[in-house]
Amino acid sequence: MSERKEFHELVPPERAHEAIASLDLGGETEQVPLQAARGRVLAERIDADIDVPGFDRATMDGYAVRARDTFGADEADPANLELVGAVHAGEEPAVVVEPGTAAEISTGAVMPDGADAVVMVERTDERDGTVAVRTSLAPGDNVMLAGTDVAAGERALGPGTELTAREIGLLSALGRATVPVRERPTVGIISTGDELVRPGGDLDSAAGQIYDVNSYTIAAAVEEAGGEADLYPHAGDDYDEMERILVRAADECDLVLSSGSTSASAVDVIYRVVEQRGELLLHGVAVKPGKPMLIGRLDGSAYVGLPGYPVSALTIFRAFVAPAIREAAGLPEPRTATVRGSMAVEERYDEGRLRLMPVGLVEDGDGGTLVYPVDKGSGATTSLVEADGIVAVDPDTAYLAAGEDVEVRLFSSEVRPPTLFGVGEDDPALSRLLDRVERPRYLGVGSREGVRRLRNGVPDVAVTTAGDPGIDAVDLGGWAREWGLVVPAGNPDDVTGLADLVDRDLRLINRGTDSGLRRSLDDAFAALADERGTGRRDLTDAVDGYDLTVKAHESPARKVAAGSADAGLGLRTTAVKLDLGFVPVGEEAVRVLANPDRADKPGVEGLRRAIETGDDVFGALAGISR
């Protein structure tokens, strides 16, 4: 009788997890075509290199006008403008809107030069080549500015993002033909045993033959976990045949999985192959089902031997191997397709229709799930990217109260709340620091709105340049950034400061009022007004373009680079990046403030560490310092 090999040692499950974690399952970076990127995981940050939309466009049918020409117009005293032509969607405007004129325009059409607003057709009367405008407009009314959805230079998607249909849509809008993703581990699958027959073959039950269940079951589980399965011919219990197939699989794959031939039987030879051609890390785990389990290395590849019984094999795979494959592929742990949570804020709704409300998830300080609405408008791709699922609001529901229990239908069973949910000022250093935090979500809503949301208790952190916000918060640290006017390369207009914008015929591109940069600019104009003995608004009214704003920190500079403006509010680091000129005006402090109830969350701690150790980030960006 041949000698039976006993289990080396029944180790606790923790040891098995540690052993598998020590194996190299691949996970390098590869470029894949966009059409093949669904389900893959981004290996690098994707910054937008174009504005989406790429042009200022009308959001409704009507007339493109200069808002200044409509000031004071109403039903009793309309503004009469000369009609100079029409602009249709999909065509380049052939007209220019001069003072006192208007152009007919279709929804989605490019705004013609000179126009800065659109009046809806219902508020006009057209007669004999003249348009009577019966309402007053402000610059930007009914216009979707270039970059409103996604602004060039903005952090679009971060490393570790799983690419679903939502992200594919965003990448399509950015014109990305290929995407850098984590490689999927290749997994060779071998079922062992003389009794096995592949499905479709002739089965001799009298001889004890059974169909090979494990090869296909485990292959499907590998694909679900994010790996690429490769089925090898089934191996009998002959040592030489077993060695040949195992060595071939090890040469071609990152991980070799076998099932069967792992128990202490004289005919089970697989552990001997591993010992002679590699390294056996453990044989036997104190778990039921699945005691006969092998973990080791085989000719440079990772190796795991699963039990032979299908239920045991699948159970052990899901418990021990699938997490390692997901980690190598960059995928998060799966979770159920629906979750329940509490509304973080009150959401009113009284339109009398079924509402499928996009929502995001965030964990509170006690580990509970908070649900907050995410809605940037029907035309914004990023609304979907920032949402985790849908809450169906019944037509009869007038509002959802803060704290009310709701069910969220997740976009994917793999959706998990971000480890860090931040809002506030957009900043180039912050984008790089967020790369060092696992699965963060950040909404660049501006300093003022960020502080407001932190006060309401929804986000984990807010990033602000507003000084003391007057709220209870934990300061995680910060940095300083130099701001001023970004001008064309060489500064051809010889701009020296804010006074030139007031005193000369120069066009400015500004930021929105929630932006910290805008507040700094307003304060600087207030100081200039004090010097001149006048009011701030008197000065800013004299600046062409002061009230027509764009979205992100690079947006004004990119307008300058395109020749659309003489100066733009921005940062020195942006000017250096885009090879533009820069006129310094001041420096502002960026602070990262945490919800005190969540200061101990892993994601918040991760951002704190990133700031504390981020000297390389700050040193690499012009005009940004600790």
For every residue of 336-400, DSSP letters joined together read -SEEEEEESS-EE--SSS-EEEEEEEEE-TTSPEEEEE--S-TT-THHHHT--EEEEEPTT--EE
Q: How confident is the model at residue 384 (pLDDT cuts 50, 70, 90)?
A: low
- Arithmetic mean of pLDDT, 453-481: 92
Under 8 Å between Cβ of 256 and 278: no
CA atoms within 13 A on the CB side of 187: 32
Q: At what angle do helices 239-252 and 270-277 cross, to 10 degrees?
A: 50
- Arithmetic mean of pLDDT, 122-131: 95
pLDDT higher than threshold 50 for residue 80 = yes
- Arithmetic mean of pLDDT, 366-388: 73
Lowest mean pLDDT among 240-254, 384-398, 455-469: 384-398
Counting residues of the chain whose pLDDT is more than 70, the rounded percentage is 93
Task: Tell how far CA 359 is from the center of its chain.
Answer: 15
Mean pLDDT, rounded, of the chain = 89
Which domains, and CATH codes, for the chain?
A: 13-28+184-329 (3.40.980.10), 29-52+149-182 (3.90.105.10), 57-144 (2.170.190.11), 338-417 (2.40.340.10), 443-625 (3.40.190.290)
Distance CA 226, CA 26 (A): 12
- Looking at residue 5, its pLDDT comes to 46
> Residue 171 class from Cβ within 10 Å (0-12 exposed, 13-18 middle, 19+ buried)?
buried
Q: How confident is the model at residue 357 (pLDDT cuts 50, 70, 90)?
A: confident
- Looking at residue 214, its pLDDT comes to 77
- Looking at residue 382, its pLDDT comes to 60
Residue type, 33: P
- Arithmetic mean of pLDDT, 135-151: 92
pLDDT higher than threshold 70 for residue 261 = no
- Arithmetic mean of pLDDT, 575-585: 98
Lowest mean pLDDT among 4-8, 106-110, 226-230, 364-368: 4-8
pLDDT higher than threshold 70 for residue 383 = no
Distance CA 80, CA 289 (A): 83
Q: How does DSSP assign 446-489, residue by residue?
A: -HHHHHHHHHTT-SSEEEE-SS--SS--EEEEEEEEEEEEEE-T
Higher pLDDT, 544 or 238: 544
pLDDT higher than threshold 60 for residue 8 = no
- Looking at residue 356, its pLDDT comes to 75
pLDDT higher than threshold 70 for residue 7 = no
pLDDT higher than threshold 80 for residue 263 = no
- Looking at residue 267, its pLDDT comes to 37
- Arithmetic mean of pLDDT, 71-82: 95
Counting residues of the chain whose pLDDT is more than 90, the rounded percentage is 66
Under 8 Å between Cβ of 11 and 272: no
- Looking at residue 266, its pLDDT comes to 34
Distance CA 34, CA 202 (A): 43
Lowest mean pLDDT among 320-324, 336-340, 346-350, 374-378: 374-378
pLDDT higher than threshold 60 for residue 251 = yes
- Looking at residue 215, its pLDDT comes to 83
pLDDT higher than threshold 80 for residue 206 = no
pLDDT in tens, 103-122: 999 999 999 999 999 999 99
- Looking at residue 252, its pLDDT comes to 94
- Asked if the bond preceding 395 is cis, omega within 30° of 0, the reply is no
The DSSP symbol for 590 reads: E
- Looking at residue 410, its pLDDT comes to 87
Lowest mean pLDDT among 236-250, 483-497, 579-593: 236-250
β-strands 389-393, 405-410 pairing: antiparallel
pLDDT higher than threshold 90 for residue 453 = yes
548-571 core/surface letters (b: 16 or more CB in 10 A; e: else): bbbbbbbbbbbbbbeebbbbbbbb
Task: Tell how far CA 291 is from the center of its chain.
Answer: 41
pLDDT higher than threshold 60 for residue 3 = no
pLDDT in tens, 269-305: 777 788 888 888 988 887 776 677 889 999 889 999 8
